[in-house]
């Protein structure tokens, strides 16, 4: 696909070069036609990993050798996450901006919105607003909310409990942070985790354990919640602690399958960390779509994803596309089938 993108741009350059002598021979009243429009509506399967899209061709592509090393894609979708090929996520230099015309809408207004009713907002964006800020992708940890306050005044929040799928993909745990000792602006100091491991989805929890670790400003701490005999230290880790950041051995942060589900349930009352049919969140690269989510969740208590129909701008080089996400469900109601419309508005 990189070759195809290069070929497309090379062909465009050749056409421009060939047009120069023709234009010179024409009168000054002749007008050079603008580039052909790039626009459309797509539905991508975001159920089984990332779906990578090249907006110029309007096609789903396979980044080679990996998404973080390929310029072949512009935007990607996985479950409800959206990622751009820029910043830490990839070498494409793609950045985003949210028009966010529906950001202050009430839940009732969001529920009443449809692709047809919000088309006018999409069509109303015809140029790039002056002076806007473009945001590239940064790593967003899934394990957050485990403390309140900041710096030396930070304290653990043991009411925030996480259901954890461990890096092996088959084991689970319930976990919370119960204490921070001597935190600073750079590190949480000494952290105490309380957790219980569930060897398989069908098993009961083992005993409740405590893990105490001291974090200094330059240290990287790897935590293996369920160490296996014969697995070298450093290979079977589940959590990685660097300063105030806790990342997971899964998604972009590791080769494992670790993921979390935050819950407000009491630690003692949780009887299983396995949740059927629910995706465990992994760390992700998230720029503008992380800062301004394209949907609201569980408005009616039915766990549905409701699009806000906000319009986003996606910039790659001189080209800018407007993008509006329309649906999370396919025509038969199947989830994780993302439908969006897009159009190039510059140059």
Q: Average pLDDT in the 54-77 region?
A: 96
Model confidence at 200: pLDDT above 90: yes
**246-250-254 Cα angle (round to 5):** 80
What residues have CB less than 8 Å from 69, skipping those under 6 apart? 63, 90, 91
Q: Average pLDDT in the 103-123 region?
A: 98
Q: Average pLDDT in the 35-60 region?
A: 92
pLDDT score recorded for residue 230? 63
What residues have CB less than 8 Å from 314, skipping those under 6 apart? 55, 74, 75, 84, 94, 95, 96, 320, 321, 322, 323, 342
Q: Which of 173-187, 277-291, 306-320 has the lowest mean pLDDT?
A: 277-291
pLDDT score recorded for residue 284? 87
pLDDT score recorded for residue 303? 84
Portion of the chain with pLDDT greater than 90, in percent: 75
Q: How confident is the model at residue 18 (pLDDT cuts 50, 70, 90)?
A: very low
Place of tokens 């952290």: 191
Distance separating alpha carbons of residues 308 and 111, to the nearest angstrom: 9
Q: What is the DSSP string of 300-330?
A: TSS--EEE---EEEEEETTEEEEEEEEEEE-
Contact call for residues 164 and 151 (beta carbons, < 8 A): no
What are 346's strand-pairing partners?
320
pLDDT score recorded for residue 33? 63
Q: Report the 10 Å Cβ neighbour count for 248.
A: 28
Q: What is the overall mean pLDDT for the chain?
A: 89
pLDDT score recorded for residue 251? 84
Tokens of 96: 């985003």
Model confidence at 266: pLDDT above 70: yes
Distance separating alpha carbons of residues 115 and 306, to the nearest angstrom: 12
Distance separating alpha carbons of residues 339 and 26, to the nearest angstrom: 45
Question: How many secondary structure helices (H) and strands (E) does the chain include?
Answer: 4, 23
202-256 per-position pLDDT tens digit: 999 999 999 999 998 888 999 999 987 666 656 789 999 999 999 999 888 888 8
pTM over 0.75: no
Q: How many CA atoms lie within 13 A of 225 on its CB side?
A: 33
Q: Average pLDDT in the 267-278 region?
A: 90
């Amino acid at each position: 696909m990189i070759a195809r993108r290069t070929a497309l741009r090379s062909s465009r350059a050749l056409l421009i070069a060939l047009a120069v002598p023709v234009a010179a021979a024409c009168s000054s009243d002749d007008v050079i036609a603008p580039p052909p429009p790039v626009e459309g509506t797509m539905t991508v399967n975001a159920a089984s990993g990332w779906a990578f899209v090249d907006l110029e061709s309007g096609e789903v592509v396979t980044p080679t050798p990996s998404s973080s090393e390929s310029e072949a894609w512009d935007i990607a979708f996985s479950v409800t996450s959206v990622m751009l090929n820029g910043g830490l996520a990839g070498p494409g230099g793609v950045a985003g901006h949210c028009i966010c015309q529906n950001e202050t809408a009430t839940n009732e207004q969001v529920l009443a919105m449809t692709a047809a009713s919000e088309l006018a907002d999409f069509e109303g964006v015809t140029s790039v607003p002056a002076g806007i800020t473009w945001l590239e992708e940064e790593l967003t940890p899934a394990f957050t909310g485990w403390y309140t306050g900041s710096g030396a005044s930070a304290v653990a929040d043991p009411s925030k409990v996480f259901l954890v799928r461990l890096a092996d993909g088959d084991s689970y745990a319930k976990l919370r942070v119960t204490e921070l000792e001597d935190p600073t602006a750079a590190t949480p100091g000494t952290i105490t985790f309380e957790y219980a491991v569930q060897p398989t989805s069908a098993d009961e929890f083992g005993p409740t354990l405590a893990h105490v670790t001291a974090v200094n400003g330059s240290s990287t701490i790897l935590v293996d919640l369920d160490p296996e005999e014969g697995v070298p230290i450093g290979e079977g880790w589940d959590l990685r602690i660097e300063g105030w950041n806790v990342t997971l051995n899964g998604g972009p942060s590791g080769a494992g399958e670790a993921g979390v589900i935050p819950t407000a349930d009491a630690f003692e009352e949780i009887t299983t960390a396995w949740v059927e049919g629910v995706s465990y969140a992994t760390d992700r690269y998230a720029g503008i779509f992380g800062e301004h989510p394209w949907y609201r969740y569980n408005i009616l208590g039915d766990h549905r994803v409701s699009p806000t129909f906000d319009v986003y701008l996606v910039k790659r080089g001189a080209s800018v596309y407007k993008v509006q996400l329309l649906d999370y469900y396919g025509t038969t109601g199947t989830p994780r089938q993302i439908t969006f419309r897009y159009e190039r508005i510059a140059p």
